[in-house]
């Protein structure tokens, strides 16, 4: 476990990056297609995609003369596993607190 949780969570700190990720969750897109749907430039989209790719949340593939980006299921599965562990710990703590509470409340 990382010292401060799942490092992929920090990738969502930027609203544009979250918007790109959410668009890619619906459909694979090229940089140009993403830029048309967002209020940022193509170079900015490319930078955000690079960060998401380096973080293991997206990957790219060639289709003809374009490069399409899409969600990386393995990266998302790792992020989801982390969130599931945290949620299980929270539920366990809640259950222990409820069981330890006095009955006369």
List pLDDT tens digits, range 29-79.
999 999 999 999 999 999 999 999 999 999 999 999 999 999 999 999 999
Q: Is the pLDDT of residue 1 over 50?
A: no
Query: Which CATH class, in words, describes the domain spanning 7-72?
Result: mainly alpha
Q: Where are the domains of the chain?
A: 7-72
The pLDDT mean for the chain works out to 92
Q: Which residues share a beta bridge with 54?
A: none
Three state DSSP letters for the chain: CCCCCCHHHHHHHCHHHHHHHHHHHHCCECHHHHHHHCCCCHHHHHHHHHHHHHCCCEEEEEECCEEEEEECHHHHHHHHHHHHHHHHHHHHHHHHHHHHCCCCC
């Amino acid at each position: 476990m990382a010292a401060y949780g799942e490092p992929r969570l920090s990738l969502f700190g930027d609203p544009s990056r979250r918007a790109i990720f959410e668009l890619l969750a619906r459909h694979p897109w090229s940089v140009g297609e993403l830029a048309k749907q967002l209020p940022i430039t193509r170079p900015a989209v490319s930078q955000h995609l690079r960060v998401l790719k380096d973080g293991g949340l997206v990957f790219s593939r060639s289709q003809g003369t374009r490069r399409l980006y899409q969600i990386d299921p393995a990266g998302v599965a790792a992020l989801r596993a982390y969130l599931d562990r945290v949620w299980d710990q929270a539920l366990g703590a809640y259950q222990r607190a409820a069981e330890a509470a006095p009955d006369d409340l």
